[in-house]
Amino acid sequence: MFDIGVNLTSSQFAKDRDDVVARAFDAGVNGLLITGTNLRESQQAQKLARQYSSCWSTAGVHPHDSSQWQAATEEAIIELAAQPEVVAIGECGLDFNRNFSTPEEQERAFVAQLRIAADLNMPVFMHCRDAHERFMTLLEPWLDKLPGAVLHCFTGTREEMQACVARGIYIGITGWVLR
């Protein structure tokens, strides 16, 4: 079993991060993908992936943090993506449920990260909450240019899930999927 949605950069793990990782492997997990959700956490995720064996990371900006996206962010994500521990771009996408960043900011950051992933021939690690139609409209032109895509956070309908799977998008199994 490989856990693709590990938020080890969270401060809640500051005191027992080593134990959390050890327990995961003791429970039969073979690998961990540590999620980058903004530039700082992407940098931290890469360092943690380097620190622990059988761990890798993503580099990207979550929809909630899309208002932070700027040229310097893009350059830093590209630089991080060159590190061997970084194996995907993201967590990126759209979240129209809370709109911590405006829909326009989210769309700009999402498309920029899709472009980075395509340019670097890297898979994308994505998030879509209450935004399926717009998400697919923005993603569709890029799908054939990406080596892989996983929709880590998915809150859509069965039909929306089937449409994603039909396009070769993997769906992450989270608490949202199991509700």
Confidence of residue 13 (pLDDT cuts 50, 70, 90): very high
Spatial contact of 117 and 138, defined as CB atoms under 8 Å apart: no
- Answer whether residue 109 is part of any domain: yes
pLDDT at 103 over 70: yes
Domain that holds residue 44: 2-171
Whether residue 178 is contained in a domain is answered as no
Q: Are 152 and 94 in contact (CB under 8 A)?
A: no
pLDDT at 111 over 70: yes
Given a cut of 70, is residue 9 above it in pLDDT?
Answer: yes
CA distance 45 to 101: 22
Give the tokens for residue 60.
């990207």
- Residue 95, both tokens: 């979240």
Residue 122 lies in a domain: yes
Q: Which residues pair with 2 in a beta bridge?
A: 31
Q: Which two tokens stand for residue 142?
A: 């890029």
Q: Is the pLDDT of residue 178 over 70?
A: no
176 in any annotated domain? no
pLDDT at 176: 54
Mean pLDDT (the chain, rounded) = 95
pLDDT band at 83; cut points 50, 70, 90: very high
**Cβ partners under 8 Å of residue 33, min gap 6:** 2, 3, 4, 5, 6, 55, 56, 57, 58, 87, 88, 125
Model pTM above 0.85 = yes
Q: Residue 156's pLDDT band (boundaries 50, 70, 90)?
A: confident
Q: How far apart are CA 110 and CA 44, in angstroms?
A: 21
Residue 96 maps to a domain: yes
Give the CATH number, domain containing residue 126.
3.20.20.140
Residue 177 has pLDDT above 80, yes or no: no
Contact 14, 23 (CB under 8 A): no
Tally of domains in the chain: 1
pLDDT at 175: 60
Inside any domain, residue 179: no
Rounded Cα gap, residues 40 and 67, in angstroms: 14
User: Considering the domain boundaries, does residue 12 fall inside one?
Assistant: yes
pLDDT band at residue 172 under the 50/70/90 scheme: confident
